[in-house]
Chain A
Amino acid sequence: MAQALDEIKIGGLGSSRKRVEDDRFLRGKGNYTDDFKLTGMLHMEILRSPVAHARIKSVDTTKAWQIPGVHMVLTGEMAAQHNLAWMPTLSYDTQAVLATDKVRFQGQEIACVVADDPYIAKDGCEAIEVEYEPLPAIVNPEQALASDAPLIRDDKVGQNDNVCYRWEVGDREGTERAFAQADKISTLRLHYPRSHPSPIECCGSIADYNPATTKLTVYMTTQAPHIIRSAVALVAELPEHMIRIISPDIGGGFGNKVPVYPGYVASILCSILLGRPVKWIEDKTGNLTSTGFARDMYIEGQLALRNDGKILATRFHADTDNGAFFSDAQPSKFKIGLFHSAFGCYDIPYGYQTAQGTYTNKAPGGVAYRCSFRITEAMFFQERMIRAAAFDLGMDQAEFRRMNLVKDDDFPHRTPFGFLLDSGQYEKCLDVALDAIGYQDFLREKEEARSRGRRLGIGISTMSEPLGAGNSREYDIIGIKMFDAAELRVHPSGKAILKIGAKTQGQGHETTFAQIVTHELGIPAPDIVVEHGDTDNTPYGMGTYASRSTPTAGAATAMVSRKIRAKARKLAAHLLEVSEEDVEWELGRFYVRGAHDRGVTIQDCAMAAYSNMPDGLEPGLENNAYYDPPNLTWPFAAYIVTVEVDPETGVWDVLRMVAVDDCGVRINPMIVEGQIMGGMTEAYAMANMQFITFDADGNCVGSNYMDYLLPTAWETPGFELHEVTTASPHHPIGAKGVGECAAVGGPAAFVNAVMDAIDDTGVRNIDMPLLPDRVWEAITYKRDVSGAPPVKTD
């Protein structure tokens, strides 16, 4: 009898096989952008503005040019001669590559020096003399909207104020009616602070323009190499076939490596002008002060409530602080991304949302830091608001959620903002989480501790977020639709290479995407290599962010595998000398219907594709698939945190943290758990310590790792993970996105826990991060604590 393959053993769906990437990463054998050394390569450093807002009176580069070893000092004026002093942004605004008229944030790029080595290039930067005429700095939307505020974007024709967009969505009238009928209206206002994805590897590029072939090769730290190639072709007006973008190993992205940055553009221009490879590697301060930040949103909203706990409607407004240029890296047709996914997991009939963006003298580039386009802010506000409403009603926060969550038989569920939730078992997830934490016991423990002067608290966060951009109807980047692709080549020996348009930055694509092929074809995962990141060698794709790789490129991988299987079936029929209709499939093998022992393996078919194909059948066994997802995927999560707050110092410690994630079918459970733990760590970071603020002069507080705090293993709490599985009904293998859930849903659980620990103070909100001094102030003065910049200083 032919033995059936054990899918787990060969590394298929559900196998926690070890990450194939880790071997090279752990042994220092990875190849990051900075590891490449090309013959004749020069080094570029960027001179950045020390001030936040100033008119540039002069840029004198004379002394820099005189330093031996300096090859080029590129200024905005020079870039302008090539039409590259400015570049378009992903949000249809413009951004300065090198400042010509004004500097608009501290850290803005002013000039570049290209030299034999980076030391000389830095010396060159120091030798440039810039004369500034200082202007008042604006560091929050309120200042930006003041009637006497200086105009930040005086470069834009017709721009008379500091507003960069206005946006509304939902049913305004229906919502007003529902509010009029409410028994109670609950209100909350908060600031989601500016944060930075801060990958350990900073951004960088090596532009290599070959004047003989006129081909431009760029090694760069990008999460989306294909879209960069198209962007370079359009912006720099170079022919697209003569551009090759190589994104080698990436040391973390988290959204930071989606946009196009001035450094990339300048290195390309310098390479073209000099005819030599030019390497630019950003330093940590450059990364933290100039590249895509995240969040920085002021949200105020309300819930219309019935006394029995039913939510009738929601309305909320967001003011976003977009920095000096509106360069939010988001591909949806909605100005504020998917912010209106807030409250999606609750069955609320009416909703209305407005938003306004403002220019400020802060770094541009609102990126989706481990989330899909403003979802983090949406879910945070949602869960803080839900807790506030339960509190206002005097209802148990778990029961309030249970009452309003979308029910299992309600899917697909249309939200008042138009999203279609695909599937879920929300109440079950909540129950698993409550059970795991021992909810009732903890409530008793809390009361008992309170009577002895100790402050314990419990916080819950339940949410479903839309992951996996696109579909092509609502999502595009510079007009290119949000599909993704996979190409699969099976070699004669049955080994295979899978090429995808997505690009891993630590998510483990090289491991999991092979597992999808294994699931579809029965080729053992170790026999499949995954290639990605090189535009000359992989099919077009929109890159990796927004937890979209499995929903899109993963789906394409399943689909291309099925195409291969269809062709292999023809080959199997030929080998088995039966007609195709009489061939049955089981994992890794075709056999003759009714004669299970008479079969051929997928490897036999692969060999036949090159050595023994039937007449009329094209040789070879390879194909590709482009996948346009019909909908986003909607994972669900229930997170519960317990804390103890020290009222004398405001310091709080996490006692326990329970995470229940339903992300559909798990391809590699170990990698999924790693993603959840990583996301949870970032959630804890945002709740506890990690933010970038500014002083009144626009100086960035958080420009290095002494001030921009990332939690270490020491303070990161342990996480207890649980799972529930509801397959996505529209994804070929039932998977949903997961990489971001914990970072998106986690912060509210921590904050709600601290709020619960001080629930006798009447305090409604403390802005993140919940630094000890803020918590102490809230407890001591029984007042809300705002974290909005400017930071107070003596």
Chain B
Amino acid sequence: MAFKHVNKGVRRVDAYEKVTGKAKFGADLEFANMLHAKVLRTEYPHAEIEKIETAAAEGMPGVRGVFTAKDIPNNLFGVIVQDQQVLADKKVLLAGDGVAMAVAETEAQAAAALEKIKVEYRELEGVFDPLESRKEGALKLHPEKDDNQVIHHPLRKGDVKKGFAEADVILEREYTTQFIEHSYLEPEAVVVVPNEENHLVSVYGSIQNPYATRNAVSAVLEVELAEVRVIQNHIGGSFGGKDEVVSAMAARAAVMALKTGRPVKMVNSREESFTESYKRHPYHLTYKIGATKEGKLTAMEIAAVADSGGYACQTPFVTWRSVVQATGPYEVENVKTDTYGYYTNNPYTGAMRGYGSPQVIFAQESLMDELAAELGLEPVELRKRNMYSQGSVTASGQKLERHTVSLNEVMSKAMEAIDYKKKYEEYSREQPGDKKKGIGLSISFRGCSLGAEAIDAAASVIQINKDGSVAVYSGLAENGQGLKTIFSQIAAEVLGVPMSEVEFKELDTSFTPDSGSTVASRATLIGGNAIKDAAEKLKGRIMDFAAGKYDFKIDQLELKDGFLYDGQGNRLATFADLTGEMGNTGILMSAYGWYKSPPISWDEEKGSGNPYFTYVYGCQIAEVEVDTGTGELSVLNMAAAHDVGRAINPENVKGQIYGGVMMGLGYGIMEELEVRDGVIQGTNFHDYMIPTIKDMPDIKPVIVENPDPDGPFGAKSIGEPTLELGSAAIANAVAHASGRRIRSLPLNLERVLIGRALHKGGK
């Protein structure tokens, strides 16, 4: 198929604003008469609040109000489980829980007021390890619940006893992963304006999921959804991170905006952001795997325990993705998987790019290399003998047949890109000196979109103005990933207009229908289909009208480059004249688009069903050098091959790959949010290091395209798969180079050198 706009590296539609400094982010917003607010957060991970005294703070200069939990109409919210406090009421459950807030004429005055608030706590013992939290008799953190378990997802297939009996080799291994900070460059920021244009409150700011924030604000204020309007501004990165934490911020600002009758702005400092935001879940994983001596997997038994921190947040869904993908992309007859989430008094954990996959992939792809070594097989060979191919059946019993199962293709293309075979052979030989090179790979399958977590549908609106310009609205949100550009390309492609005629409009929850959250790498797939639907409806109307007007059959007409053509390539009219005329004859020139995903299923008890309607496949390979004398680890090269179905914008896809690989590199070898007895050690970028430009390996992105029958123009997902594979590939390369198998992330200096961390809290 020849495309005009789709499958092309067209420029981002929002780039001009961003390179000129014109793009307004949350902290850049100003409204007349605006107040500023700050939150007082507790330093205790677990304590009862005995008394809060606010009188002194209220009397401070410029202060317009000081509020606590008793001022919040409904203090509990949450996307899945409503257990998160807007402000801690009787008990703080984690260090960083807000306990009071002050609003004042300036930010400095609000901050000064916080210093005058007196809170008396009765410190409680805390639970800081999910493995402790799950023990019988453990201190209960949410007294209204039976125990500390947030969730348990079982999956059963075949008979693991029988499977292990058939095995010639059985390995049992434990792996652990760490807390990760999203580290979006822009700290959270919102402004809430009261009583604006028939809305009780309007919420502006850096909001990942405007509908989730609207739900939270309306629930907290106990008002109807229609009274709350959320308008998304430019957002300085999110990666899953600007959901609940921003909803809490918006709800707090909304309460203060209503109390004062004035716009209220809240902007977190980096330290506040670190302290209060949720993190990626640390996992404790135990894997038992059995295989025949020919290298055929016979059974896998997996338990994964996730630290949910003080609140449930997204733990139920994060661990659900883990249960579906825990075996990796391998055919195994007998599987027993259990994933769990437990409350602790640690920072709470939620959605972060990958969403329960990076942890299990690190474990399971490390394990495959360990097994290969045990069996005397090459890592690639063991994978080839077991990995999914067309028609394979997954652990949950889903037959992979509707889309192309391209594991073999992504793997061989990644291998080619980095010259794997040659390097593998070379580095497998004895290497003189301290510096040793190694190469390692990992592969994955990943369910696209939400899956059986929730209803998976999205909306769009397209409006053609009388001059032929096209306004596009979507219920899904730009997070920096390039959604506005992708959706504009799809609209331009269907309507046959130049990109310059397409205007993507800001998301306003009062105008576009609820489309759920911009998560799960679902925007292109689900939202793109909704855009295509609206554009096709309009195109249908245009073609009907044109066929009548020019007396052609519809299939003889074509919309292209802003013109209507007949079958012979003659221009009949401009798009603007034609659609303008339609508008003038009273034809509706706007359309709603809607897309609902194909049916999916899940049996919570057995862990069986068709959890996702399609999957993507990826392979990443890392080439490293380890100094076995000093422990220094350098990642020299990486290749990343991802099947995206169809790349709507290949340059964007590459950007996702580069960014995801680097984030995966941070996860693999650098980043670890140190939490000691519930308290974060170091709340800025000098303590928590993310990869800089100097940490870049040479990255070779490889785009693989096998169009999906259900994707818009065949497109699927790319955002998350790029990040989930790197840590295992690097760990495998380190083992290849040094002979040391590290089962704990990050693979830092000490771990490479002596196999364990030296600092306190290291495992």
Pairing of A with B: no
Chain A residues engaging chain B, CB cutoff 8 angstroms: none
Chain B residues engaging chain A, CB cutoff 8 angstroms: none
